[in-house]
Structure 1
Amino acid sequence: MRARTPRDLNELPYLHRLTSFTGEMEREGSYEWIHFEGCDFEEVDGGSSGFTESAFSAVTFTRGRYRRSQFDDVWLHTVRMVGTDLSETTWMDSECDQAVLAGTELSGSHMNRVTFYNCKFDSVNARLTKLKNVSFVDCLLRDVDFGGAVLTNVSFPGSTLERAHFDNSKMTKVDLRGAGGLNIASGLEALKGAMISTYQLLELAPALAQVLGLTVKDE
């Protein structure tokens, strides 16, 4: 089933509580009911911070460090993350729309009930992540590494996967049927536990035969 459409800022239930962000982001900071709008965070160390019921609009993160931070019920729109360290972060009940993540570290992160809409992931390290109840809607995932990740109830409606890596990952109720493009560079054996369409199976057949050591001859 296709995920619902993203919410606008004025649809957030905590909108009336939001106050504009001022000052500098700090390590181990606590940010509740904050609206980050038009901010440019370059090489900021915001590690181990907590973001609760907050919104990010047109924010750019460049080479920052936010390791082990927590994002609980956050809303992100037109956010850019370039070379940003988000490893071992925790995400819950959040949504991200029209974001760009390039060269971003997400390794070891945990996500539960998170939806990405119209986002572009380019060369993202998502190794050893744990994704549960996560949807990628109309997204582009290029050179994303899910090596060793655990994916549970994850879907990709309308999304394109280019040169995705799933080495040693584990899938349970992963729905790939809605993906518009499915190009897997490595880790095809990890598709056990995933659902694909007949058309996708035919596209993947040559690569699957190679992984299984099958020789296909019609003579």
Structure 2
Amino acid sequence: MDSELVDLPYADLLQPHTGGLDVEGRYDTLHFDGLTLSGQDAAGSGFLECAVTDCVLEEGSLRGARLGDVWLRGTRFVGTSLADSSWLDSTATSCVLAGVEAHGASLRRVVFRRCKFDSVNLRGSTSREVVFEECVLRDVDLGGASLTDVSFPGSSLERLHLAKARLTRVDLRGATTLDLADGHEALRGAVISPTQMMDLAPALAAALGIRVEA
């Protein structure tokens, strides 16, 4: 069930944010609404108990930013750097991340709901207790990433890169599409359905060097 802005425990404390973003800025109990923030450098910034609705962040930097208890809806990240950022107890609904650099990012207890990830670099990232619900992940690179207690109910995974990724209790059974570009060996730490196993069997055999002949 989707949460609403008014349902947030800090909703009554939110103040509208105007203007841009600053390097190492501190943003507490602010509402970013309908803003287009282009080419801005907010590296090292901290966002605590903030709401972000219908915003566009493009060609900017949130490198090393820290987001705690942040609620996002209808927001687009385009060509933005989220490298080495950390996300904790946050929710993103109907958001788009396209051409985003998020390598080395850390996500803990984060929910993505009906979001679209297109060509997102999450190499070397760490995800723990993260849910991707009814999302589309297309050409997402999780090479060398660590995923623990992550699930993908109702999500479509297209050309997912998992080379050298480490999966622990990752539940892929709810994914509507499971298409790996590489890293089939990383599935040793995942749970998949019998149907997914049949679909993946040829690629798994090839990855393990198994020849299947009649």
Give the TM bin, normalised by the shorter chain: over 0.9
- Measured against aligned partners, the alpha-carbon deviations of 1:65-104 in whole angstroms (never above 9, x if no partner) come to 1100000000000000100000000000000000010000
Root mean square deviation of aligned Cα:
0.6
Q: How far is 1:178 from its partner?
A: 0.2
Contact 2:20 2:37 in 1 (8 A): no
- Asked whether 1:98 is paired with 2:91, we answer no
Contact 2:120 2:141 in 1 (8 A): yes
| 2:82 alignment partner, one of 73, 79, 86 | 86
Cα distance in 2 for partners of 1:6, 1:206 equals 38
**Residue-pair matches, total:** 214
Q: Secondary structure at the match of 1:192?
A: helix
Cα distance in 2 for partners of 1:215, 1:147 equals 26
Contact 1:6 1:95 in 2 (8 A): no
- Asked whether 1:42 is paired with 2:41, we answer no
Cα distance in 2 for partners of 1:157, 1:32 equals 32
- Asked whether 1:174 is paired with 2:170, we answer yes
- The runs of at least 4 aligned residues of structure 1 exceeding 2 Å deviation read none
In the alignment, structure 1 segments of 5+ residues that lack a partner are none
Cα distance in 2 for partners of 1:23, 1:160 equals 36
Cα distance in 2 for partners of 1:22, 1:56 equals 12
| 1:30 alignment partner, one of 9, 26, 29 | 26
In the alignment, structure 2 segments of 5+ residues that lack a partner are none
Letter of the aligned partner of 1:156 in structure 2? F
Q: How far is 1:217 from its partner?
A: 2.0
- Measured against aligned partners, the alpha-carbon deviations of 1:31-68 in whole angstroms (never above 9, x if no partner) come to 00000000000000001000000000000001011100
Q: Identity over aligned residues, as a percent? A: 47
Q: How far is 1:24 from its partner?
A: 2.3
Contact 2:56 2:76 in 1 (8 A): yes
Cα distance in 2 for partners of 1:197, 1:23 equals 49
Alignment-derived partner of residue 57 in structure 1:
53
Letter of the aligned partner of 1:131 in structure 2? S
Cα distance in 2 for partners of 1:51, 1:83 equals 20
Contact 2:20 2:40 in 1 (8 A): no
Contact 1:109 1:130 in 2 (8 A): yes
| 1:14 alignment partner, one of 10, 17, 40 | 10
Cα distance in 1 for partners of 2:17, 2:11 equals 14
